[in-house]
């Protein structure tokens, strides 16, 4: 009885810390405080706390699979944002990502040697080649956003991996939400 | 030295274990009872159990119910030795028996006979000669002959399956492999850190085409000769390079490129490398497959909203919609006679394999799970192999075109996906 409760507490702390490490850009205040309480109770469990600057509090906006793509916690308004998420079967850039993409656009405009590769991804549902086409729509939507901001076409490359390179392995709504994305990767002139 | 040899042998043993194993998950009630008697061995123990391979093949077709060899009342190895009542009392309709003789030169001579129990008469008898490594080929060929004699349909046991595996524990997680239709003798064609997609056979079975993102991380279409291992990039255009499919005469590929902005269907002449754009819409056009006439294609298009299957006539460029059942029908394949269209069909958020009879216009769902994809029809038109998920990992299953038989090919490690059934080899 005792042993099992220690185990479950230990594993909760482990999972919580793993989540912190895995999604360092997305913890809500709720997650963080829950982990801290856990640490006080289990002195010999020490989760790695990433050294991050203080974040705005978005805990009042629930992080659901449905609203995942537009959750402000993913987008800090700077070039540190490297993943843009998308709604199911959609390829519109979410409004919450606009400031971050403007920051990327400004960086690219100021640094003509900088090159960015926009990698489109989908969740696993649907056929593989059709998903490659959907992933391309997403990468092209981000490309279009940057082009409208005045970024030169020669600085942007797009590629779609469809469902072939998932960020999350599960077959559930939250994993799918994490996989519907465009990754922004600099091949030169990284900010 | 000896240790090294032992290690090499162990490594080989591990490779053998990577083979796929097949289980029949749904059979037919009217499957034909057949006794495949263990073949007599002379001159040495053969490397393969020929009778067991034949029995497994017939069982996997769903059309036969082979008698467990432990239930045999007698084990004749020649027609004249058959005690008919031993088989009649077991309600057997047919008997396969034979002999495997290891010759002085190390080669094997395999003889078999097929007998009809009701008539007490021989239906087939033939022999083969070959090396130990050809014993499986001989067993598959015998299975093909027996299957054709008793069903009227050529057997496809001597064919191969091409597929992609993914195992994140490997330094090169993506592999392109092919194996016998029973899952044995798997061979790796290509290993890569980047995705490999959409493998397809040439009609002569000597070449395969596929999409590989190797090197720079961008998609390229390759044509790869299996015997020599030689390959070449046939397209590396900006944007999507996807969904290659050989024409029935093997001279052209149909494929998808998005170099003009959106994914469109092209044909590529493999002699001249001339690309011809075949579709013109602002929507997604992809996943082309040739119809047997070599003059038309089926493909997936979102021109009507969601994805549906359309038919494109290459002679005049006309396009006609084929599927209307539900909001999502994609990635079609066509039976060799051109009659049936098989494709991925979404119903209530579940992706299943659907079949449409293009002559009668009827539609059926053949599978019952959530994530079925990439259907590929056997060259004899009886079975469809497809990818599905089990316990969160990709596995292969096959279903008969009438939906009555279903078999699973579980993978020992990693994921298996995108099966492509070879032509007759």
**Which tens digit of pLDDT belongs to each residue from A69-103?**
999 999 999 999 999 999 999 999 999 999 999 99
Give a yes or no: residue B2 inside a domain.
Answer: no
Identify the pLDDT of residue B3.
Answer: 42
Q: For residues B49 and B134, state if they share a domain.
A: yes
Dihedral over Cα of B224, B228, B229, B234: its sign: negative
Give a yes or no: residue B6 inside a domain.
Answer: no
Which has more pLDDT, A36 or B141?
B141
Q: Which of B117, B151, B185 is the last residue of a domain?
A: B151
Contact between B345 and B326 (Cβ < 8 Å)? yes
Model confidence at A1: pLDDT above 50: no
Give a yes or no: residue B3 inside a domain.
Answer: no
- What is the distance between the alpha carbons of residues A65 and A42, in angstroms, rounded to a whole number? 31
Interface with A, mutate which of B240, B241, B348 (most A CBs under 10 A): B240
Q: For residues B131 and B72, state if they share a domain.
A: yes
Give a yes or no: residue B232 inside a domain.
Answer: yes
Give a yes or no: residue B214 inside a domain.
Answer: yes
Q: For residues B99 and B187, state if they share a domain.
A: no
pLDDT bracket for residue A48 (50, 70, 90): low
Give a yes or no: residue B9 inside a domain.
Answer: no
Q: Which of B86, B118, B151 is the last residue of a domain?
A: B151
Give a yes or no: residue B145 inside a domain.
Answer: yes
Model confidence at A41: pLDDT above 60: no
Model confidence at A22: pLDDT above 90: no
CATH number at residue B121: 3.40.50.10070
A134 touches chain B (CB under 8 A): yes
Q: For residues B139 and B169, state if they share a domain.
A: no
The reply to whether residue B392 touches residue A171, judged by beta carbons under 8 angstroms, is yes
The reply to whether residue A128 touches residue B198, judged by beta carbons under 8 angstroms, is yes
Q: For residues B119 and B184, state if they share a domain.
A: no
Q: For residues B143 and B196, state if they share a domain.
A: no
- What is the distance between the alpha carbons of residues B246 and B251, in angstroms, rounded to a whole number? 7
Q: For residues B103 and B229, state if they share a domain.
A: no
A128 touches chain B (CB under 8 A): yes
Interface with B, mutate which of A133, A143, A168 (most B CBs under 10 A): A133
Q: Which domains does chain A have, with CATH numbers?
A: 1-60 (no CATH), 61-191 (3.30.1330.60)
Domain count, chain B: 2
DSSP-derived secondary structure for A75-129: --SSTT--EEE--TT--PPPGGGHHHHHHHHHHHHH-TT-EEEEEEE--S-S-HH
Q: What is the pLDDT of residues B198-216, one digit of tens each?
A: 999 999 999 999 999 999 9
Model confidence at A54: pLDDT above 80: no
A160 touches chain B (CB under 8 A): yes
Give a yes or no: residue B351 inside a domain.
Answer: yes
Identify the pLDDT of residue B29.
Answer: 79
- Set of chain B residues whose Cβ sits within 8 Å of the Cβ of A162: 197
Identify the pLDDT of residue A36.
Answer: 38
Name which of B284, B351, B418 is nearest A133 (Cβ-Cβ).
B284
Cα–Cα distances (Å) from A56 to A40, A89, A95, A99, B269, in that order, read 24, 30, 17, 15, 58
Q: What value does the mean pLDDT take over residues A156-160?
A: 98
Q: For residues B349 and B208, state if they share a domain.
A: yes
Q: For residues B254 and B329, state if they share a domain.
A: yes
- Set of chain B residues whose Cβ sits within 8 Å of the Cβ of A133: 240, 242, 256, 258, 263, 284, 286
What is the chain B residue with the closest CA to A140?
B261
pLDDT bracket for residue A60 (50, 70, 90): confident
Strand-pair partners of B154: none
Provide the 3-class DSSP secondary structure of residue A174. helix
DSSP designation for B402: T
The reply to whether residue B258 touches residue A133, judged by beta carbons under 8 angstroms, is yes
B53: containing domain: 17-151
Q: What residues in chain B have per-residue pLDDT under 70?
A: 1-22, 410-412
Name which of B240, B351, B418 is nearest A125 (Cβ-Cβ).
B351
What radius of gyration, in Å, describes the C-alpha atoms of chain A? 19
Q: For residues B204 and B289, state if they share a domain.
A: yes
Identify the pLDDT of residue A3.
Answer: 40
Interface with B, mutate which of A123, A129, A168, A171 (most B CBs under 10 A): A129
Q: For residues B116 and B197, state if they share a domain.
A: no
Q: ipTM value of the model?
A: 0.92
Q: For residues B111 and B170, state if they share a domain.
A: no
CATH number at residue B298: 2.120.10.30
Q: Which of B95, B121, B151 is the last residue of a domain?
A: B151
């Amino acid at each position: 009885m005792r042993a099992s409760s220690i185990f479950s507490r230990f594993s909760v702390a482990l999972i919580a810390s793993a989540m912190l490490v895995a999604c360092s850009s997305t913890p809500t205040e709720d997650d963080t405080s829950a982990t801290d309480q856990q640490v006080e109770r289990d002195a010999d469990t020490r989760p790695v706390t990433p050294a991050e600057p203080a974040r705005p509090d978005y805990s009042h906006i629930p992080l659901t699979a449905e609203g995942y793509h537009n959750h402000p916690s993913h987008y800090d308004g700077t070039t540190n944002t490297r993943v843009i998420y998308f709604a199911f079967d959609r390829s519109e850039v979410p409004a919450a990502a606009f400031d971050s993409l403007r920051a990327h656009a400004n960086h690219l405009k100021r640094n003509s040697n900088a090159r960015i590769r926009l990698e489109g991804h989908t969740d696993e549902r649907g056929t593989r080649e059709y998903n490659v086409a959907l992933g391309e729509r997403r990468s092209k939507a981000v490309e279009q956003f940057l082009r409208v901001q005045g970024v030169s076409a020669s600085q942007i490359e797009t590629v779609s991996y469809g469902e072939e390179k998932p960020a999350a392995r599960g077959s559930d709504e939250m994993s799918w939400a994490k996989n519907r994305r465009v990754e922004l990767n600099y091949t030169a002139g990284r900010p | 030295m000896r240790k090294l040899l032992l290690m090499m042998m162990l490594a080989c043993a591990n490779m053998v274990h990577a083979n796929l194993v097949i289980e029949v998950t749904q059979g037919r009630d009217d499957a034909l009872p057949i006794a495949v008697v263990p073949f007599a061995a002379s001159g040495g123990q053969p490397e393969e159990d020929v009778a067991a391979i034949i029995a497994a093949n017939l069982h996997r077709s769903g059309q036969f119910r082979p008698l467990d060899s432990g239930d045999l009342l007698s084990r004749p190895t020649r027609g004249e030795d058959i005690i008919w009542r031993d088989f009649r009392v077991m309600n057997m309709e047919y008997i396969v028996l034979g002999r495997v003789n290891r010759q002085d030169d190390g080669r094997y001579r395999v003889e078999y006979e097929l007998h009809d129990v009701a008539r007490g008469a021989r239906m087939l008898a033939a022999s083969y000669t070959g090396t130990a490594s050809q014993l499986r080929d001989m067993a598959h060929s015998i299975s093909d002959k027996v299957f054709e004699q008793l069903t009227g349909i050529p057997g496809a046991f001597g064919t191969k399956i091409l597929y992609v595996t993914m195992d994140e524990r490997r330094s090169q997680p993506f592999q392109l492999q092919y194996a016998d239709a029973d899952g044995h003798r798997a061979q790796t064609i290509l290993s890569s850190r980047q995705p490999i997609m959409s493998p397809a056979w040439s009609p002569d079975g000597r070449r395969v085409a596929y999409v590989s993102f190797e090197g720079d991380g961008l998609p390229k279409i390759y044509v790869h000769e299996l015997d020599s291992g030689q390959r070449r990039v046939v397209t590396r255009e900006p944007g999507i390079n996807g969904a290659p499919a050989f024409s029935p005469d093997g001279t052209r590929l149909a494929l998808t490129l998005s170099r003009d902005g959106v994914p469109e269907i092209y044909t590529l002449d493999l002699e001249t490398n001339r690309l011809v754009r075949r579709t013109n819409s602002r929507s997604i056009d992809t996943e082309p497959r040739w119809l047997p006439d070599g003059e038309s294609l089926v493909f997936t298009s979102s021109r009507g909203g969601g994805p549906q299957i359309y038919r494109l006539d290459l002679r005049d460029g006309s396009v006609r919609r084929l599927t209307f059942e539900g909001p999502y029908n994609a990635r079609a394949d066509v039976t060799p006679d051109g009659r049936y269209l098989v494709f991925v069909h979404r119903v209530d958020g579940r992706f299943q394999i659907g079949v449409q009879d293009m002559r009668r216009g009827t539609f059926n769902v053949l599978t019952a799970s959530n994530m079925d994809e990439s259907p590929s029809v056997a060259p004899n038109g009886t079975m469809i192999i497809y990818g599905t998920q089990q316990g969160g990992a990709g596995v292969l299953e096959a279903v008969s075109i009438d939906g009555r038989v279903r078999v699973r090919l579980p993978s020992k490690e990693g994921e298996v996906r995108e099966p492509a059934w070879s032509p007759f080899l």
